[in-house]
């Protein structure tokens, strides 16, 4: 009985590296990718954009897509330095310097012809302002070529849910809802 278990365990361990070798590894192209936030105030909508500081994706043979992306909070640029300084204060960027997403989706297969798009909902965790919460991110994964993939999506979070004091303009706070829009370009390779 013990010998049978050892043989089965050895067979499983030997099969794991073969499955991992068939997985496709992708790295984010920082200069072509961005994370954008949008805030709504009574008087206008504010958006800021940052390049990701790191990003990886793994597409497994069974169609499982794993994604991990992070950005530096200080890198978000709204084209208004006063606003950006205030955002750094309310997000306590010196104490919580990163916004990070780790998520998984299923049903993503490399297409036979390019370009091709696949819708997927990633489920995972968003860490922002020292708080980690579950998120669902509807994405469109576009296989631009055999070596490049672009993923676009949009999802909403609550500022107060992440313990962030809502910024004010003319004594009026922005809405609690923050929209995050990832535009991620990945190339195959480590």
Evaluate if pTM is beyond 0.75. yes
CA distances from 187 to 12, 69, 140 (A): 30, 14, 16
pLDDT digits (tens, 9 = 90+) for 123-171: 999 999 999 999 999 999 999 999 999 999 999 999 999 999 998 877 8
| DSSP character at residue 175 | P
Number of helices (H) and strands (E) in the chain: give both, helices first. Answer: 2, 13
Helix residue ranges per DSSP H, 38-140: 81-90
pLDDT band at 2 (very low <50, low <70, confident <90, very high): very low
- Note the pLDDT of residue 15: 42
Radius of gyration, alpha carbons of the chain? 20
Quote the mean pLDDT of the chain.
90
Q: Is the dihedral of CA 137, 140, 143, 144 positive or negative?
A: negative
pLDDT band at 76 (very low <50, low <70, confident <90, very high): very high
């Amino acid at each position: 009985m013990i010998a049978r278990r050892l043989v089965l365990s050895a067979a499983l361990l030997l099969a794991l590296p073969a499955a991992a070798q068939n997985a496709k590894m992708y790295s984010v192209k920082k200069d072509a990718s961005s994370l954008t936030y949008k805030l709504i105030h009574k008087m206008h909508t504010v958006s800021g954009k940052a390049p990701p500081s790191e990003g990886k994706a793994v597409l497994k043979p069974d169609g499982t897509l794993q994604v991990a992306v992070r950005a530096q909070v200080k890198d978000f640029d709204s084209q208004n330095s006063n606003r950006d300084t205030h955002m750094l204060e309310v997000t306590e960027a010196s104490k919580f310097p990163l916004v990070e997403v780790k998520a998984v989706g299923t049903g993503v297969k490399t297409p036979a012809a390019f370009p091709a798009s696949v819708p997927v909902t990633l489920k995972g965790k968003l860490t922002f302002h020292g708080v980690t919460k579950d998120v669902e991110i509807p994405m469109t994964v576009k296989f631009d070529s055999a070596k490049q993939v672009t993923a676009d999506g949009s999802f909403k979070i609550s500022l107060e849910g992440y313990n962030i004091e809502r910024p004010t303009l003319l004594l009026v706070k922005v809405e609690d809802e923050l929209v995050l829009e990832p535009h991620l370009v990945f190339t195959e390779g480590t």
